[in-house]
Amino acid sequence: MRKFHIVLVMLACIQNASAKNPLPSWNDGQAKQSIITFVDRVTAEDSESFVPVDERIAVFDNDGTLWCEFPLPNQAAFALDEIKRMLPENPEWKDEPAVAGLISGDVASLKADHNAGLIKLLALTHAGITPDTFDSRVENWLQTAKHPRFDCSYRKVIYQPMLELLEYLRTNQFETWIVSGGGQDFMRVFAEETYGIPPQQIIGSYGKLKYELIDGKPMLTKTLDSLFVDDKEGKPVAIAQFIGRRPIACFGNSDGDQAMMEYTTIDNPRPSFGLIVHHTDADREYAYDSNPSSSGKLTTALEAAPQRGWTVVDMKQDWKTVFPDQADEGL
């Protein structure tokens, strides 16, 4: 008992040390201050606003919140690269309208007919294979593909201030989750190393798997059956289904996150916090909101922010650096 107490005291010392300047890539200002004020409130023991450790759940969108989503969501870039990689061995794919549209550069047509083209491309690149095969394809792509503007691995177009925020929350005994419209399996390949978030804390869109014993060995196959799209109203639904507990902090960047922001912050018996990353920095990253050329449309959630008390991050003003490499040596 005494030993355990000593351990707790020492853990507390370590935490205080690393908490001295918890968000170095954030400029001083209202956004940074609102985060720190919230964390101080819910971790202050003997206060009414204290939240027990078990209930410190924080949920993060991924595309545009933790990493860049321009000029295309990174997973779409992966799917397009995969089609091109596999086309020589599957020449019949050229007769697919979706693939033909892709080759001719007519990406817009993929969205016609309820995204029929996109779903066809997903079927060719994300289904009919084992999770292990899929994972190694994603891994290979991440090791070779480069972001067209920043000319670096997609693993590096992540936001340094958000990495610090994840770490700061975990230091304060929050459990950090991803709740993204992106593919669950796709994110699980890199999120543990990149964000420190293990697979079981990553919720995304997913299709049902098929399980069989083949030649006496267990085999899972990815399918697009019962496709669950983890976006908009799907986000609070998935949170209830996977976590079973209401978050107290929510971080997003688009109207697709509005439902989980509402679910987190309205009528929550616990103190709660919502934050929107507003992309305002065309020089260092991108500037977009109501009319993005990629994903990330932000109109109604931005309008609702003042009334809801959500913090809006002005990327240009609030972030000292955008990507991790800038912090060290320039991008």
Is 210 near its own copies (CB under 8 A)? yes
What is the distance in angstroms between the CA of the first residue and the CA of the last residue of the chain? 50
Q: Which contacts (CB < 8 Å, 24+ apart) does range 143-146 have? A: 145/77, 145/78, 145/81
Q: Which stretch binds its own copies (CB under 8 A): 31-39, 137-145, 209-217, 292-300?
A: 209-217
Amino acid letter at 161? P
Residues 16-45 that bind its own copies (CB under 8 A): none
Beta-bridge partners for 279: 288
Q: Which residues of 243-282 are buried (b: 16+ CB within 10 A; e: fewer)?
A: beebbbbbbbbbbbbbbbbbbbbeeeebbbbbbbbbbbbe
Residues 226-255 that bind Ca ion (CB under 5 A): 253-254
Is 192 near its own copies (CB under 8 A)? yes
The partner in contact with residue 64, picked from its own copies, Ca ion, none with C-beta cut-offs of 5 to 8 angstroms by kind, is Ca ion
Q: Which of 134, 206, 286, 310 touches its own copies by CB under 8 A?
A: 206
Q: What is the DSSP string of 278-291?
A: EEE-TTTS-EESSS
How far apart are alpha carbons 285 and 69 in whole angstroms? 10
Question: Which residue has the CB atom at the shortest distance from Ca ion?
Answer: 64
Beta carbons within 8 Å of 209's beta carbon, 6+ residues apart: 131, 220, 221, 222, 223
Residues 51-110 that bind Ca ion (CB under 5 A): 61, 63-64
The SS3 of residue 208 is: coil
In 3D space, the residue among 222, 196, 47, 217 whose CA is nearest the CA of residue 131 turns out to be: 222
The partner in contact with residue 63, picked from its own copies, Ca ion, none with C-beta cut-offs of 5 to 8 angstroms by kind, is Ca ion
Residues 106-135 that bind its own copies (CB under 8 A): 131
Tell me whether strands 209-214 and 57-60 are parallel, antiparallel or unpaired: unpaired
Is 242 near its own copies (CB under 8 A)? yes
Q: Which stretch binds its own copies (CB under 8 A): 37-45, 86-94, 229-237, 316-324?
A: 229-237
Is 211 near its own copies (CB under 8 A)? yes
Beta carbons within 8 Å of 290's beta carbon, 6+ residues apart: 297, 298, 299
The partner in contact with residue 143, picked from Ca ion, its own copies, none with C-beta cut-offs of 5 to 8 angstroms by kind, is none
The pair of structure tokens assigned to 192 is 């543990």
Is 236 near its own copies (CB under 8 A)? yes
Q: At what angle do helices 30-43 and 160-171 cross, to 10 degrees?
A: 20
The partner in contact with residue 212, picked from its own copies, Ca ion, none with C-beta cut-offs of 5 to 8 angstroms by kind, is its own copies
Is 168 near its own copies (CB under 8 A)? no
For its own copies, the closer of residues 165 and 259 by Cβ is 259
Is 213 near its own copies (CB under 8 A)? yes
For Ca ion, the closer of residues 42 and 58 by Cβ is 58
Which residues bind to its own copies, rule: CB under 8 A?
3-4, 6-7, 10-11, 13-14, 54, 131, 175, 184-185, 188, 192, 198-202, 206, 208-213, 216-218, 220, 226, 233-234, 236-237, 240-245, 259, 262-263, 266-267
